[in-house]
Structure 1
Amino acid sequence: MSPQPAPSLPLDGLVAAGYGKVADAFSTALARSTRGGAALTVMVGGQKVVDLWGGAADARDGRAWTQDTPSVTFSCSKGLLAVLVARLVEVGKIDLDTSVSTYWPEFGQAGKETIPVRWLLSHQAGLSYPTEDITKADVLAWHPVVDKLAAQTPLWEPGTGHSYHAFTYGWLVGEVVRRVTGQSVGEAFAELVAGPIGARAWIGVPREELSSVVVLAMAPDLDVDAMQLPPEFAPLKRAFTLGGAFPGTLAGEGTGLNDPDIQAAEVPGGGAVATARALAEIWSSTILPTSATQPLPLDVVTDMVQVQSSGQQILGPQGVPQPSWATGFMVDSPARPFLTSSSFGHDGAGGQLAFADPALGVGFGFVTNDAQGVGDIRALDILDTLRRTL
């Protein structure tokens, strides 16, 4: 599998022998990313077999995507945070079935006294959106957000069902990380996950790296303010806007996830920034040894990939196929196919996808700044091609 330049492709990078069809699938995905660019890295057995990028990192001025270009990963961030939690479970700092209030005493109020950490990671805590408005200033400061969530009464009886915690997941889980490590979630992620393997991935982008981050172009159907939701589901918009911190588009011209101040802040539910290569490296490191790290213990992985939440969500339209969540990880389901039934990771709004597959020894990362909505099949086509190749 010696790397060779990808032949006759309108992109840059390397493709190992036998993976040309995966490169072709990425080339097709890139051609569909007309408002920006994309990058794909696939590792098999700890080795990069596909490492490709192309298009514009900023469609406004044509700045080209490079091998080191990082992108906002949207909810792929949740999977990265779950990897961090798994590392803390490994060393005994977090017990997933212990109450959150054991680690974060202020959380144990308003009917949340017995909620276990696992429910935060599986969208069962009843805190999908804040009932009190959260501002950009709150997001930048961290503590106002977690204080408001700690005081909030759950939206439903915790543990009786689930609904996606779009942004609140990050602050809820991240505060537990902060309490048990004495570090911010970004610092802990750097120390335990990204740093040891030299991955260009951050929860809170260093100021010197901000100019390299892609500029996101959001599809109109990703604008939650424009969605025609039934009245009973209108509060779901708050799960994404938080009542004011983010625009309905999630990322506008210098706003939301395109705002350098937000990118530099720690927004672990949707604001992690990484290269496709870093994502593949991190996910590969969860299942295979590197020169600096050992894979996650089998017992930790086995526990954390068991499905906790699936089927109809408490909040949201009825009858819409839903993904399946384990403890922090998204796992294979008809609504969100992965490579095989052993895959675990997370996708992200607009087409992002990152995961590990222990059965095939795969670490996978795909990112794009042309964030598309309904009908986007770019990552699915790449996955289908990779599955046939392997």
Structure 2
Amino acid sequence: MVDVQGTVTDGFEPVRDAFAENFARRGERGAAVALYRDGRKVVDLWAGTKDADAPGDGPSAPWERGTAQIVRSATKGVAAAVPLLLHQRGLVDLDAPVGTYWPEFKAAGKERVLVRHLLAHRAGLPALDTPLTPAEAVDGVSGPRALAAQAPAWEPGTDHGYHAQTYSWLIGELVERITGRSAGRWIAEEIAGPLGLDLWIGLPESERHRPGRISDVEPPADPAAPGLRMRPRKAVTDAYDDPASLTRRAFAAISPAADENAPAWRAAELPASAGIATAEGLARFYASLIGDVDGHRRLFAPATLTLARTEESAGPDRVLIVNTRFGLGYMLHGPASPLLGPGSFGHPGRGGSLAFADPESGISFGYVTNGMQKNVTADPRAQALVRGVARALAG
């Protein structure tokens, strides 16, 4: 039996039960889950080990309070807040062409790509004709330059497909052109710092050398079909198995795959995939989007919250193959990524991590794991925790 550490407010015991069951039945290694309700923390749990592949002949380092974890695509939900807050401040027009802010982007038939298309995965740019190396992916120049020259895979705005890796350079360059700051720096200065979040897009030097601060993850695995049952499994696996498919090319926009445990990757500012956070940091972040937290006023005005969770893209996803739903920068509740309810918005990370908010219940949720499994959106461990939250709310 795993020794679950942390606290649970009375009434939220079903979340602790689901968390413990993940270790007993679902192969969990090291993980944490946190929950806020109406701006108050009600769940903060952790268990397991920090080293995903601990040596068999030695003790494993235990997960601790404050252990952080790379969260892969759950990073997208954090990064999406930046252009939405810039819009809220009158600094960006969501219906303006991207080329208004990034003139080089207009090339190769992209003159009509709008800012909202980037956020809703409708820009037609999920893959690159020539993938970037890991070094190029993090240099801050090669990714934006490649996308400025890239022709869209479909007419922008007419369809959607998950921009798994390219979202990093699209959103990152847009933010830098508008603000003069990188997305990671903007988040650190405007959101994470003021709110005291253990959450970074680009791990700072001060955190990089704290022993045991960051949990290692397993080597990246090719995404596969488990958990995706909306279409016949063969349709999904065929897309991932075919090197020429848009699906494989989208996930291989960085090739070969990077070592996600390497210091250079942890320091990289990649808003699509390289964020590092604690579960508590993610839950507190989403709590701050929908309400006041510890004297800090909510980040999203009502109109901005509506933009985040109003459906912009829905139906068959050209990359993920299954039906997906997106607002502006956020996945919405649906079969591919079940959240707490119809009004929920957030983002999963390939391999397990999940973070979201549900304004109707006042819930914000954060889950991180180092036991990366082959699921693209609906990880069974995260879903068990969401069901635990639902049981707690039902009383």
- TM beyond 0.5: yes
Looking at structure 1, the residues matched to 114 and 379 of structure 2 have their Cα atoms a distance apart, in angstroms, of 36
Distance 2:206 2:316 in 1: 43
Do structure 1's residue 160 and structure 2's residue 158 form an aligned pair?
yes
* Structure 2 residue identity aligned to 1:163: G
Provide the residue aligned with 1:238 in structure 2: 249
Q: Does the CA contact (< 8 Å) of 2:201 and 2:275 recur in 1? A: yes
Q: Does 1:53 align with 2:46?
A: yes
Partner-residue secondary structure (3-state), 2:49: strand
**1:204 matches 2:208:** no
Q: Secondary structure at the match of 2:386?
A: helix
Structure 2 vs 1, CA of residues 368 and 316 (structure 1 numbering), >3 Å: closer, same or farther? closer
Structure 1 range deviating more: 307-316 or 118-127: 307-316
Partner residue of 1:36? 29
Residue correspondence of structure 1 range 211-290 to structure 2 within 5 A = 211=211, 212-218=213-219, 222=223, 229=239, 231=242, 233-244=244-255, 246-247=256-257, 255-290=258-293
Instruction: Name 1:3's counterpart in structure 2.
Output: none
Residue by residue, what CA displacement relative to the aligned partner does 1:336-389 show, whole Å, maximum 9, x if unpaired?
A: 111111111111111111011110111110010101125841111111121121
How far is the alpha carbon of 1:33 from its aligned partner? 5.9
What residue is the counterpart of 2:127 in the other structure? 129
From 306, 309, 313, the equivalent of 1:305 is: 309
| Farther off after superposition, 205-214 or 82-91 | 205-214
Distance 1:259 1:310 in 2: 36
8 Å CA contact 1:218, 1:350 repeated in 2? no
Q: Is the 8 A contact 1:128 1:166 kept in 2?
A: yes
Could you tell me which residue of structure 2 aligns to residue 175 of structure 1?
A: 173
Contact map agreement 2:339 2:386 (CA 8 A) in 1: yes
How many angstroms apart in 2 are the aligned matches of 1:259 and 1:203?
15
How much does 1:293 deviate?
A: 3.3
Q: Offset of 1:279 from its aligned partner?
A: 0.2
The answer to which of 127-136 and 115-124 deviates more is: 127-136
2-side partners of 1:126 and 1:101: how far apart?
15
TM-score normalised according to structure 2 size: 0.88
Shift of 1:256: 2.6
Q: Does the CA contact (< 8 Å) of 1:350 and 1:372 recur in 2?
A: yes
Structure 1 pair 40–274 and aligned structure 2 pair: CA distance change class (3 A): same
Q: Secondary structure at the match of 2:118?
A: helix
In structure 1, how many angstroms separate the alpha carbons of the residues matched to 2:287 and 2:121?
25
Per the TM alignment, residue 31 of structure 1 is displaced from its structure 2 partner at its CA by 3.1
For 1:1-390, what aligned pairs fall within 5 Å after superposition? Answer: 10-32=3-25, 34=27, 36-59=29-52, 60=54, 62-210=60-208, 211=211, 212-218=213-219, 222=223, 229=239, 231=242, 233-244=244-255, 246-247=256-257, 255-290=258-293, 291-315=295-319, 317=321, 321-374=322-375, 376-390=379-393
| Identical-residue share of aligned pairs (%) | 38
Contact 1:219–1:372 (8 Å) recurs in 2: no
- SS in structure 2 at match of 1:340: coil
Paired position in structure 1 for 2:228: none
Instruction: Determine if contact 2:224/2:374 at 8 Å carries over to the other structure.
Output: no
Q: Compute the displacement of 1:304 (Å).
A: 2.6
Map Cα deviations across residues 234-284 of structure 1 (whole Å, 9 max, x no partner).
34323223252x42xxxxxxx432222011011110111000000000000
- Calculate the TM-score normalised by the size of structure 1: 0.89
Q: Which amino acid aligns with 1:105?
A: P
Instruction: Map Cα deviations across residues 149-200 of structure 1 (whole Å, 9 max, x no partner).
Output: 1111111111111111001012101111111111011100111221110101
Could you tell me whether the CA contact under 8 Å between 2:317 and 2:324 is conserved in 1?
Answer: no
Task: From the superposition, tell whether residues 90 and 339 of structure 1 become closer, same or farther in structure 2 (CA, over 3 Å).
Answer: same
Q: Is contact 1:197–1:293 with CA below 8 Å preserved after alignment?
A: no
Give the number of aligned pairs: 370
User: Contact (CA 8 Å) 2:202, 2:269: kept in 1 or not?
Assistant: yes
Distance 2:288 2:327 in 1: 19
Question: CA separation in 1, counterparts of 2:181 and 2:379?
Answer: 38
Cα separation, 1, equivalents of 2:300 and 2:24: 37
What is the Cα deviation at residue 322 of structure 1?
2.2
Say if 2:137 and 2:254, in contact at 8 Å, map to a contact too. Answer: no
Shift of 1:221: 5.6
Contact 2:219-2:260 within 8 A present in 1 as well? no
Aligned pair in 2 of structure 1 residues 233, 31: CA closer, same or farther (>3 Å)?
Answer: farther
Which residue identity is paired with 2:44?
A: D
Name the residue aligned to 2:230. Answer: none
Instruction: Give secondary structure in 2 for the equivalent of 1:366.
Output: strand
Return 5+ residue gaps in structure 1 as ranges: 1-7, 248-254
> Please, which runs of 5 or more residues in structure 2 have no aligned partner?
226-236
Q: Does the C-alpha gap of structure 1 residues 205 and 343 become closer, same or farther in structure 2, counting only changes over 3 Å?
A: same
Report the Cα distance in structure 1 between the residues aligned to 2:307 and 2:317, rounded to whole angstroms. Answer: 23
* CA displacement at 1:32 relative to structure 2: 4.4
Cα distance in structure 1, aligned partners of 2:142 and 2:152: 18
CA distance in 2 between counterparts of 1:57 and 1:113 reads: 47
Question: Partner letter of residue 181 of structure 1?
Answer: T
- Cα displacement (A) at 1:34: 4.1
Deviations 1:67-121 (A, max 9, x none): 1111111111110011222221111112111110111111111100121100001
